[in-house]
């Protein structure tokens, strides 16, 4: 998704817009802004523990049950979130040792199927059709969006819920349509309006979810 | 649909988040290094250079994320900048790995695609990735500006970079989270430097040079 410029460039970089700054002053200004952003995400991450702690625990136990029953993880997202879909699938399927690998597939990374479905049917079905083909009752569908409003994700969750899959959603802002759809059983909303901070916090959410799922599978949760 | 509820945080969850708190706070210490890297990257972009990104495993996904960040910014009105990830093409990766060995997968592509005006950005959450180390060395030989996002897992990929940005943490998952913030900042601050007239004369971007980063 794209959003209006809310990075506060004019406020954060006053020299940039006054036109009279030296290169050194700009460098100092940029470093100060970078440090402020790191404080923002640290604060947001701490808030996630309070807001989502219990739900993460509950979700991790549910995922462990699904894997124990032979379920697989199917992940999806658009743009930057497609790379998170790939990263979370890889974390489950190819974890740092000695954790045991779990079956996981990232849906956005089959370019042939993605472009075929986009060209022949429409972009809205790219994940839903693949879930229909691959997904089984008891599998896990995990989708990431910053807005919570991506049509192809909403269609995918609808498909997954209809097939009896466990559905997990990561969103930002107020959760958008993903929070209203009734198809996302485990929804984790990052309360921020910065696409970048949302993505950073979502990385923590899915990695903590993996850590907890692993502990649950090892009987340690 | 189940919205998360507030409540007491279980010890296992708290422990997971607490492991992120220290590295999260320490990230501010990299702010100066990030700013210098962005100043030099902006110089390369201004001179017509492109960004080439690479990493193995989970970092392959980060490389793609960085490429899309620069080419298709999430902020309306920010110009598209040329960036390419070397991790997308399974035919190229498996072909090179079979013919020349896994360690060559990025270096071989860089030698074909990279030139002296370009920027090489390599990621390794544990810092021990021979493919990334070799690609950064190849990039230096080509005269490219080199930037490394590394972790403290015992490796030394950052030793090859003009701008080594090393997160001093041994947990690759936690390091990855710091890297996501770092590359978002790289994108944002590159645009700040590109838009500023005071840096217009810094066309080359060799600036602080090898070994000056943090």
pLDDT at residue number B143: 97
Question: What's the alpha-carbon Rg for chain A, to the nearest Å?
Answer: 19
The answer to whether residues A202 and B181 touch, using CB atoms and an 8 Å cutoff, is no
| pLDDT class of B32 with cuts at 50, 70, 90 | very high
Using the structure block, give the residue that is written with the tokens 């849906």. Answer: A107
From chain B, pick out residues whose CB is under 8 angstroms from the CB of A187: 1-4
A:B CB pairs within 8 Å: 207
Nearest CB to A4 within list B10, B76, B193? B76
CA distance A35 to A39: 6
What are the residues facing A216 on neighbouring strands? none
The answer to whether residues A157 and A183 touch, using CB atoms and an 8 Å cutoff, is yes
Ramachandran bin of B197, using left for φ above 0, alpha for ψ from -120 to 50, beta for the remaining angles: alpha
* Chosen CATH of B47-191 out of 3.40.50.1000, 3.40.50.10800, 3.40.50.10490, 3.30.365.10: 3.40.50.10490
Query: What pTM, to 2 d.p., does this model score?
Result: 0.91
Nearest CB to B35 within list A31, A51, A195? A31
Nearest to B167 by CA among B184, B188, B182: B182
Q: Tell me the per-residue pLDDT of B45-77, one tens digit each, with 9 for 90 and over.
A: 999 999 999 999 999 999 999 999 999 999 889
| pLDDT class of B211 with cuts at 50, 70, 90 | very low
The ipTM value here is: 0.91
Whether residue A54 and residue B65 make contact (CB cut-off 8 A), yes or no, is no
Quote the minimal CA–CA distance from A113 to chain B in Å: 15
A112 Cβ neighbours under 8 A, 6+ residues apart: none
Whether residue B58 and residue A208 make contact (CB cut-off 8 A), yes or no, is no
Residue span of the structural domain in which A177 resides: 21-217
Q: Tell me the per-residue pLDDT of B156-165, one tens digit each, with 9 for 90 and over.
A: 888 889 999 9
Whether residue B76 and residue A184 make contact (CB cut-off 8 A), yes or no, is no
Q: Which of B189, B200, B205, B212 to mutate to test the interface with A (most CBs of A within 10 A)?
A: B189
Burial class (CB in 10 A: 0-12, 13-18, 19+), A138: middle
pLDDT at residue number A21: 66
CA distance B192 to B203: 15
| pLDDT class of B206 with cuts at 50, 70, 90 | very low
Please indicate, yes or no, if residue A175 is contained in any of the structural domains. Answer: yes
Q: Which of B65, B194, B204 to mutate to test the interface with A (most CBs of A within 10 A)?
A: B65
Q: Which two tokens stand for residue A143?
A: 């989708």
CA distances from A102 to A63, A72, A186 (A): 11, 8, 20
From chain A, pick out residues whose CB is under 8 angstroms from the CB of B62: 83, 87
Whether residue B192 and residue A39 make contact (CB cut-off 8 A), yes or no, is no
Q: What are the strands of the beta sheet with B83-85, ordered from one edge? A: B83-85, B51-55, B119-124, B145-151, B163-167
Quote the minimal CA–CA distance from A213 to chain B in Å: 11
Residue of B nearest to A201 (CA): B177
pLDDT at residue number A12: 61
Q: Tell me the per-residue pLDDT of A80-132, one tens digit each, with 9 for 90 and over.
A: 999 999 999 999 999 998 999 999 999 999 999 999 999 999 999 999 999 99
Mean pLDDT of chain B: 89
Domain count, chain A: 1
Q: Tell me the per-residue pLDDT of B103-151, one tens digit each, with 9 for 90 and over.
A: 999 999 999 999 999 999 999 999 899 999 999 999 999 999 999 999 9
Using the structure block, give the residue that is written with the tokens 């429409």. Answer: A122
Q: Which of B5, B35, B195 to mutate to test the interface with A (most CBs of A within 10 A)?
A: B35
Quote the minimal CA–CA distance from B192 to chain A in Å: 8
pLDDT at residue number B113: 97
Whether residue A200 and residue B12 make contact (CB cut-off 8 A), yes or no, is no
Please indicate, yes or no, if residue A200 is contained in any of the structural domains. Answer: yes
Please indicate, yes or no, if residue A3 is contained in any of the structural domains. Answer: no
Quote the minimal CA–CA distance from B10 to chain A in Å: 7
Three-state DSSP string of chain A: CCECCCCCHHHHCHHHHHCCCCHHHHHHHHHHHHHHHHHHHHHHHHHHHHHHHHHHHHHHHHHHHHHHCCCCEEEEECCHHHHHHHHHHHHHHCCCCCCCCCCEEEHHHCHHHHHHHHHHCCHHHHHHHHHHHHCCCCCEEEEECCCCCCHHHHHHHHHHHHCCCEEEEEEECCCHHHHHCCCCCEEEEECCCCHHHHHHHHHHHHHHHHHHHHHHHCCCC
CA distance B173 to A90: 12
pLDDT at residue number A112: 95
Whether residue A49 and residue B58 make contact (CB cut-off 8 A), yes or no, is no
CA B110, distance to chain mean position in Å, is: 15
Q: Which two tokens stand for residue B102?
A: 């896994």
Nearest to B173 by CA among A96, A59, A48: A96
Would you list the DSSP string of B138-191? HHHHTT-EEEEEEESSS--GGGG-SEEEEE--S-HHHHHHHHHHHHHHHHHHHH
User: Where is B83: in which H helix or E strand?
Assistant: strand B83-85
Quote the minimal CA–CA distance from A21 to chain B in Å: 7
CA distances from B18 to A112, A121, A218, B132, B175 (A): 42, 46, 21, 30, 14
pLDDT at residue number B2: 45
Which regions in chain A score pLDDT beneath 70?
1-2, 4-21
CATH of the domain at A80: 3.40.50.10490
Nearest to B41 by CA among B193, B148, B149, B161: B193
pLDDT at residue number A90: 97
pLDDT at residue number A14: 61
Domain residue spans of chain B: 47-191
A1 Cβ under 8 Å from any chain B Cβ: yes
Quote the minimal CA–CA distance from A70 to chain B in Å: 24
Please indicate, yes or no, if residue A114 is contained in any of the structural domains. Answer: yes
Q: Determine the straight-line distance between the first and last CA of chain A, rounded to whole angstroms.
A: 37
Please indicate, yes or no, if residue A173 is contained in any of the structural domains. Answer: yes
**Residues A145, A147, A150, A154: is their CA dihedral positive or negative?**
positive
């Amino acid at each position: 998704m794209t959003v209006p410029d809310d990075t506060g460039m004019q406020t954060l970089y006053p020299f940039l817009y006054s036109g009279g700054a030296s290169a050194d002053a700009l460098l100092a200004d940029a470093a100060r802004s970078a440090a402020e952003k790191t404080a923002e995400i640290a604060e947001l991450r701490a808030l996630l523990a309070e807001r989502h702690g219990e739900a993460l625990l509950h979700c991790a136990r549910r995922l462990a049950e699904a894997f124990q029953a032979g379920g697989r993880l199917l992940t999806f997202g658009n743009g930057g979130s497609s790379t998170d879909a790939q990263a979370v699938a890889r974390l489950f399927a190819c974890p740092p040792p000695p954790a045991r690998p779990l079956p996981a597939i990232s849906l956005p990374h089959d370019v042939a199927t993605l472009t075929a479905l986009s060209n022949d049917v429409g972009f809205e079905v790219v994940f839903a059709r693949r879930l229909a083909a691959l997904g089984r009752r008891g599998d896990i569908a995990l989708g990431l969006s910053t807005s919570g409003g991506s049509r192809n994700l909403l269609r995918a969750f609808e498909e997954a819920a209809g097939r009896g899959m466990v559905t997990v959603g990561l969103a930002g802002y107020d959760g958008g349509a993903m929070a209203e759809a009734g198809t996302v059983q485990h929804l984790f909303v990052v309360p921020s309006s910065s696409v970048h901070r949302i993505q950073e916090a979502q990385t923590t959410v899915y990695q903590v979810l993996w850590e907890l799922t692993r502990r649950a599978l090892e009987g340690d949760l | 649909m189940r919205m998360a509820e507030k409540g007491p945080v279980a010890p296992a969850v708290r422990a997971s988040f607490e492991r992120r708190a220290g590295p999260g706070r320490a990230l501010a210490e990299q702010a100066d290094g990030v700013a210098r890297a962005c100043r030099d990257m902006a110089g390369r972009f201004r001179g017509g250079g492109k960004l080439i990104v690479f990493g193995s495993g989970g970092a392959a996904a980060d490389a793609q994320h960085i490429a899309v960040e620069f080419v298709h910014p999430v902020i309306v009105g920010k110009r598209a900048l040329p960036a390419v990830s070397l991790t997308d093409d399974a035919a190229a990766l498996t072909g090179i790995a079979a013919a020349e060995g896994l360690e060559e997968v990025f270096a071989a592509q860089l030698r074909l695609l990279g030139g002296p005006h370009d920027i090489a950005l390599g990621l390794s959450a544990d810092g021990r990735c021979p493919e990334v180390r070799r690609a950064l060395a190849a990039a230096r030989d080509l005269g490219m500006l080199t930037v490394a996002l590394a972790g403290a897992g015992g490796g030394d990929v950052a030793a090859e970079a003009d701008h080594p940005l090393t997160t001093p943490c041994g947990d690759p998952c936690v390091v990855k989270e710091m890297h996501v913030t770092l590359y978002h900042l790289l994108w944002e601050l590159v645009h700040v430097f590109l838009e500023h007239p005071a840096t217009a004369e810094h066309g080359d971007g060799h600036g602080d040079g090898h070994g000056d980063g943090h």
